[in-house]
Amino acid sequence: LDADGALVGETGGVHHIPPHSNKLVDATGAGDSFAGAFLSRLLRGTDPVAAADFAVRVAEWVIEHPGARPKPGPALARILGQ
């Protein structure tokens, strides 16, 4: 959904995960970071809705920086500490 967040379908229906921020600097790598974050949480046993919310936050962090591989910092640490 790009700037509109994400949709997650599961047995209970379809859930909309709204964006938390819209500070677009560079969208390079946003989809890959979303997919990686989503799958990493699913593989840990996180429910799909929570995994998608985490993935949206990670993708938003990526788009707030130039390039596909921004340097980690306090903002990413907060996201990962959830």
> How many whole angstroms separate alpha carbon 72 and alpha carbon 75?
8
Mean pLDDT of the chain: 88
> How many whole angstroms separate alpha carbon 56 and alpha carbon 35?
9
On the question of pLDDT at 70 being above 80, the answer is: no
pLDDT class for 82, splitting at 50, 70, 90?
low
Stronger pLDDT, 79 or 63, i.e. the higher one: 63
**Domain extents for the chain?**
22-80
Q: 């949480």: which residue's tokens?
A: 41
Q: What is the pLDDT of residue 78?
A: 80
On the question of pLDDT at 40 being above 90, the answer is: yes
Average pLDDT of the residues in 4-17: 91
Q: 């209970």: which residue's tokens?
A: 12
pTM: 0.83
Percent share of the chain, pLDDT over 70: 98
> How many whole angstroms separate alpha carbon 18 and alpha carbon 80?
19
